[in-house]
Amino acid sequence: MLAVGSNGAGKTNLLESLHVATQGFSPRTRSDAQLIRFGEAGALVAVTGEHRGSSVAVEVTLRPGEAKRARLNGASLRAAEELRTRLPTLVFTPDRLVIVKGGPAVRRAYFDRTLGRLFPSRAAMSADYASTLAQRNGALRRVAAGFSPRDALEPWTGRIAELGAALVSARSELVALLSPAFARAASALRLEDAELRYEGTAASPEELEARVEQDLARGSTGAGPHLHDIAIVAGERDLRSFGSQGEQRLAVLSLLLAEVDLLAERGSAPPLLLLDDVLSELDPERRAILAATIRRSGAQALLTATSAGALPVDPDVLIRVTPGQAVASA
Amino acid sequence: MLSPAIENLVAQLTRLPGVGTRTAHRLAFHLLRTPTDEALALAAALREAKERVRFCADCGNWTEEEICEICRDARRDRSVLCVVEQPADVMSLERTHEYRGLYHVLGGALSPLDGVDPEDLRMDDLFRRVDSNGIGEVVLATNPNTTGEATASFIADRLRGRVRVTRLASGLPVGGDLEYADEVTLGRALSGRREV
Ligand SMILES: Nc1ncnc2c1ncn2[C@@H]1O[C@H](COP(=O)(O)OP(=O)(O)O)[C@@H](O)[C@H]1O
Ligand SMILES: [Mg+2]
Ligand SMILES: [Zn+2]
């Protein structure tokens, strides 16, 4: 599907609403109030479709100052965000370039979410590690300030070592799995010799113990997966710091396409792809490659552009967006 | 403008967990409308509970005696000790009628962010009980969350080599279909699988 319309017509708005309806949150903002049309008392997104051969109907309701409500096939979900464990959606927007050019924290968060999508049983690992780490840092500060005895640290050191090792091995496995698919997708888009590398090793209880004086002094834990990074390289070049804007965009797209590939390999239903403003930044050859790759994947995709000519092939559905209206034609 | 007495009642009610100002007002007005003897029965029950109920000197559970009913029960297996965070957890486990050993209530879980250290829980009492009372097994039944797991690991470390230490299995809700179990729970159940 291709949504076309002039700047400010509401294309991104349409794409965002599909994200809210299938994932329970906006890819752009954490503030749900921003999603409600100015001057209105609430917002509702309802979509129907098919997933794994059965029909799905989702309804997400937003009201300022209230928790979002989501219903999947009529049943209320505990939290709207629960949708993301039920319906797979992958999104590209221009601000996603931060995955490559931003700081390590952005990449960790991105790959931890990918981990949860590809291995649903591992979805909670990074949050479990983070809450345990926060407790250990709290314990460090209490011990340093003399509020707590030294042994108050022990269980937390043991737990972050244990959870940290599990997280590092899960992330390493993910990166090893993702890297070849990433290289294939990148190469198809003419970004050659692309590779992902996990940077960091787990901190053993002994290592954590050995650096405890330092940790006490700084009031936080100075080793472990919360400080690791994932290198995104092409040949000899590290795209994190030396990639051009264009290469960084190709890398983000390749990450997304690699995930589509892996989901298919693992027998998962193809995700919904939401690609905002990607065509205008690609040359005609790469637009054609992207369109063909999406076709082949069998995933349903919504792309946006200012004119229908931006896509070198005819879309299955063309949506014309004007302020307040979206009209589809097959 | 409310009378000072009502304001005070509302303020006291607001201190209860889960009670905001609005609920506190509703409760206060309700109490004022109910007949005096009924309303005062609540006050009397509160006073009586506060005066009579205390912690069992052995296990830390609620009791009106020095030692609670479970600890006094001669039919209970005195070689097994089940460690829980709260008295409410004892009630949950008792409802199963499966566990015949004794309990040890910690009074919470380790949480530096809330200022809870080992010394704030009934840890020393636990280690003393294990050392002195011919206990052969300690079952760790703290909650399967960040603070409960750390508490369990702290106790396990201290007791290692002194006594058999076991941890409650975490698994699937009974009666639920495998098909509808969330992936994290299912994954945990899978990694905790056992030989049959
Ligand atoms: N909460 C809101 N209520 C009403 N209009 C909004 C709201 N948030 C943004 N807009 C406006 O909606 C218009 C459409 O934006 P957008 O979907 O980004 O356009 P496009 O992607 O087609 O360029 C913009 O003019 C924007 O200012
Ligand atoms: Mg836009
Ligand atoms: Zn007792």
CB atoms within 10 A of CB B41: 12
Q: Are residues B108 and B149 in the same domain?
A: yes
Listed residue (B82, B80, B59, B79) closest to B70, CA to CA: B59
Give the Cα separation of A267 and A306 in Å (integer): 35
Q: From the CB of A9, is ligand 1 less than 6 Å away?
A: yes
Q: Are residues B100 and B146 in the same domain?
A: yes
> Which pLDDT does position B1 carry in this prediction?
67
Stretch (H or E) spanning B111: none
Asked whether residue B186 is assigned to any structural domain, the reply reads no
Give B141 to chain A, closest Cα distance, Å.
16
pTM: 0.87
- CATH number of the domain to which B106 belongs: 3.40.1360.10
DSSP string, A164-203: HHHHHHHHHHHHHHHHHHHHHHHHHTT-TTEEEEEE--PP
Q: From the CB of A13, is ligand 1 less than 6 Å away?
A: yes
Q: Which residues contact A109 (CB under 8 A, 6 or more apart)?
A: none
Kindly give the residue spans of alpha helices, DSSP state H, lying in A50-153.
Answer: 98-101, 104-118, 125-144
Listed residue (B50, B123, B58, B49) closest to B85, CA to CA: B123
- Average of per-residue pLDDT across A189-204: 97
Q: Are residues B38 and B94 in the same domain?
A: no
Give the tens place of pLDDT for each residue, A229-284. Answer: 999 999 989 999 999 999 999 999 999 999 999 999 988 889 999 999 999 889 99
Give the Cα separation of A131 and B146 in Å (integer): 7
Q: Are residues B109 and B154 in the same domain?
A: yes
Q: Which residues contact B96 (CB under 8 A, 6 or more apart)?
A: none
- CATH number of the domain to which B17 belongs: 1.10.8.420
Length of chain A: 330
Q: What is the ipTM of this complex?
A: 0.81
Q: Are residues B47 and B95 in the same domain?
A: no
Q: Does domain A1-88+272-330 have CATH number 3.40.50.300?
A: yes
CA distances from A247 to A38, A49, A186, A238 (A): 37, 35, 10, 11
Asked whether residue B95 is assigned to any structural domain, the reply reads yes
Asked whether residue B38 is assigned to any structural domain, the reply reads yes
> Which pLDDT does position B129 carry in this prediction?
94
CA distances from A142 to A117, A219, B149 (A): 37, 9, 20
Asked whether residue B25 is assigned to any structural domain, the reply reads yes
Asked if the model's pLDDT at residue A301 lies above 90, the reply is: yes
Give the tens place of pLDDT for each residue, A44-71. Answer: 999 999 988 889 999 999 998 888 999 9
Q: Are residues B102 and B159 in the same domain?
A: yes
Asked whether residue B192 is assigned to any structural domain, the reply reads no
Q: Are residues B114 and B151 in the same domain?
A: yes
The mean pLDDT values, 10 residues at a time, for chain B of 196 residues are: 89 92 93 94 94 95 95 95 96 93 96 94 95 90 94 94 90 69 79 77
Q: Are residues B82 and B161 in the same domain?
A: yes
CA distances from B11 to B22, B35, B187 (A): 11, 22, 46
> Which pLDDT does position B189 carry in this prediction?
80
Residue nearest to atom 14 of ligand 1 (CA): A10
Q: Are residues B45 and B81 in the same domain?
A: no
Domain ranges of chain A: 1-88+272-330, 99-268
Q: From the CB of A37, is ligand 1 less than 6 Å away?
A: yes
Give contacts of A124 with chain B, Cβ < 8 Å. Answer: 184
User: Which residue of A2, A12, A13 sits with most ligand 1 atoms within 8 Å of its CB, as the best mutation to test the pocket?
Assistant: A13
Give A60 to chain B, closest Cα distance, Å.
21
Q: Are residues B85 and B154 in the same domain?
A: yes
Q: A85 and B183: CB-CB below 8 Å?
A: yes
Domain that holds residue B37: 4-52
Q: Does domain A99-268 have CATH number 1.20.1050.90?
A: yes
Tokens of B172: 């699937």
- Average of per-residue pLDDT across A321-329: 92
How many structural domains comprise chain B? 2
Mean of pLDDT over chain A: 94
Tokens of B102: 């004794």
Asked whether residue B147 is assigned to any structural domain, the reply reads yes
Answer whether A82's CB lies under 8 Å from A24's CB: yes
Asked whether residue B131 is assigned to any structural domain, the reply reads yes
